[in-house]
Structure 1
Amino acid sequence: MPELPEVAGLSAFLDSQLRGAVMTQLQIVSFAVLKTADPPYSTLEGREIQGVQRYGKFISIDAGNVFLVFHLAKAGWLRYTESPTSTQLRMGKGHIAARFALTRGPDMHIGIDLTEAGTRKSLAVYVVRDPFDVPGIATLGPDPLSPSFDIETFAAILAPNPHQIKGLLRNQGTIAGIGNAYSDEILHAARISPFAVAKSLDRATVQVLYDAIHAVLGAAVAEAAGKAPNELKDAKRSTMRVHGRAGQVCPVCGDTVREVSFADTALQYCPTCQTKGKILADRRTSKFLK
């Protein structure tokens, strides 16, 4: 799933390429992808793009008082080309959910496909008059890279919270943009168990976790900067120390990276770095909370 660093990279790339371009066509290919009806998506055609902005894991394309917003969900991605095809796509066929065509000047033609792999389709497209008309944006928590997200704000979020820290970091209504992969990486960098209870963390540990959020996300955003969409997935994988590396050697201590599996996801962690050598039970109710 694309998370804050990849979405930031995509947003910056699209802003540099689309600002000043004119939307000439928008094809909605998936039956379920378009989540809004007013204004109609045809309203976008003929409009000049004013800029592109990120909200958590959402990307918003400003077409002048009308916004095209999309969320790539778990298995979605974006393909960009300057040699687009004029083929009319058939509804419900293939892995392309939506296709945009734009022009910038007389000679530059741009094509963008939103794609989604797998059978469980959750990629979402919205056409709205204000990005905050999108429910997922309206309910986002603070952005962890925003200047206003200081240690006091973070401590106030954790202090009363009875949930495990892994789930809290992933909750978009609590903190925007962090998902499964970067929560694993942040907790490993902070040397905290994914099953630790948020309100149990002392102030020194909260500071360590706050610093880890900025270090991990900051490095990943820097790694993603300037890269085209087809390079971002490899950039993400190259920065991972524990996520997606179960059975491999922890680069910090040399222990074996372990995994806890759930119904539709999994987390990875290092026992030596994060749980004092204890192996976490393969369920959320593990007794090893620290």
Structure 2
Amino acid sequence: MPELPEVEAARRAIEDNCLGKKITRVIIADDTKVIDGISASDFQNSIIGKTIVSACRKGKNLWLELDSPPFPSFQFGMAGAIYIKGVAVTKYKRSAVKESEEWPSKYSKFFIELDDGLEVSFTDKRRFAKVRLLENPVSVRPISELGPDALLEPMTVDEFATSLAKKKMTIKPLLLDQGYISGIGNWIADEVLYQARIHPLQTASSLSKEQCEALHTSIKEVTLLKTYKTWE
């Protein structure tokens, strides 16, 4: 599934191409499994004519801040992906929509056209994503329950070691717990543990000071490297 690097790449693509532009056309899929808590028509009417002010991310969640609330938010699920027509945006391979398919894709759940003609689509082939319209995304689930973002809000080494000492669970499931650290998924967890030379089944509280420091460094290096490689 998409992890922090893919979602951050999408956020930066929106930031680089869409800020300050007005939404002139909206198409929201009539799919209540993905479009959560609001009708397609109400969603469309709530954002048309508004200007995109910023693109924000925490963990694997992204939202667009408009010039007034409510704001569209995207929980990427298993195969969610952002497309900007004519702009290269890195997507998780299982999310990929072929260039030969129609635009917007039949898998599009959220589509907007901006006042300069640029078009943006959020697609989801597997329908495990959630697209919501929220007054304040950070104040409600799932974002309100997330731990610090692995890339943007890293703990200090001492904070990390202290928190691990209190955890009696094995280390890999702890890293995957989005309420502990947000943004780390299966492949990043495997990579950071491999780089730190820590067995996935070692109990978090049993880690030595040196292991805590190695894991802290590995999380920082892997998330930075994978994010910037994805962006490039």
Percent identity over paired residues: 27
- The corresponding residue for 2:147 is 141
Correspondence for 1:75 among 70, 79, 85: 79
Alpha-carbon shift at residue 88 of structure 1 (Å): 11
- Does 1:171 find its partner at 2:177? yes
Alpha-carbon displacement from aligned partner over 1:85-119 (angstroms, at most 9, x marks no partner):
xx998xxxx85141322223xxx32222222234x
**Structure 2 residue runs without a partner (length 5+):** 88-101
Give SS of 1:109's match. coil
Alpha-carbon shift at residue 45 of structure 1 (Å): 0.8
- The corresponding residue for 1:109 is 117
TM-score of the superposition, structure 1-length normalised? 0.68
Matched letter for residue 110 of structure 2: R
Q: State the alpha-carbon separation in 1 of the partners of residues 15 and 167 from structure 2.
A: 37
Q: Which has the higher helix share?
A: 2
Alpha-carbon shift at residue 11 of structure 1 (Å): 0.4
| RMSD (Å), alpha carbons | 2.4
Q: State the alpha-carbon separation in 2 of the partners of residues 70 and 148 from structure 1.
A: 23
- Does 1:58 find its partner at 2:57? no
- The corresponding residue for 1:15 is 15
- Residue-pair matches, total: 214
Alpha-carbon displacement from aligned partner over 1:257-280 (angstroms, at most 9, x marks no partner):
xxxxxxxxxxxxxxxxxxxxxxxx
Alpha-carbon displacement from aligned partner over 1:153-181 (angstroms, at most 9, x marks no partner):
21122111111111111111000100011
- Does 1:100 find its partner at 2:105? no
- The corresponding residue for 1:36 is 37
Q: Which has the larger radius of gyration?
A: 1
Give SS of 2:117's match. strand
- The corresponding residue for 2:28 is 27
- The corresponding residue for 1:279 is none
Alpha-carbon shift at residue 30 of structure 1 (Å): 2.2
- The corresponding residue for 1:48 is 51
Matched letter for residue 140 of structure 2: V
Stretches (4+) displaced over 3 A: none
Matched letter for residue 116 of structure 1: D
Q: State the alpha-carbon separation in 2 of the partners of residues 172 and 124 from structure 1.
A: 16
Equivalent pair of 2:29/2:110 in contact (CA under 8 Å)? yes
Equivalent pair of 2:50/2:68 in contact (CA under 8 Å)? no
Q: State the alpha-carbon separation in 2 of the partners of residues 88 and 9 from structure 1.
A: 21
- The corresponding residue for 2:90 is none
Alpha-carbon displacement from aligned partner over 1:241-266 (angstroms, at most 9, x marks no partner):
xxxxxxxxxxxxxxxxxxxxxxxxxx
> Relative contact order: is structure 1 or structure 2 higher (C-alpha 8 Å, sep ≥ 6)?
2
Q: State the alpha-carbon separation in 2 of the partners of residues 29 and 178 from structure 1.
A: 31
TM-score of the superposition, structure 2-length normalised? 0.84
Alpha-carbon shift at residue 148 of structure 1 (Å): 5.5
Alpha-carbon shift at residue 219 of structure 1 (Å): 0.8
Equivalent pair of 1:99/1:111 in contact (CA under 8 Å)? no
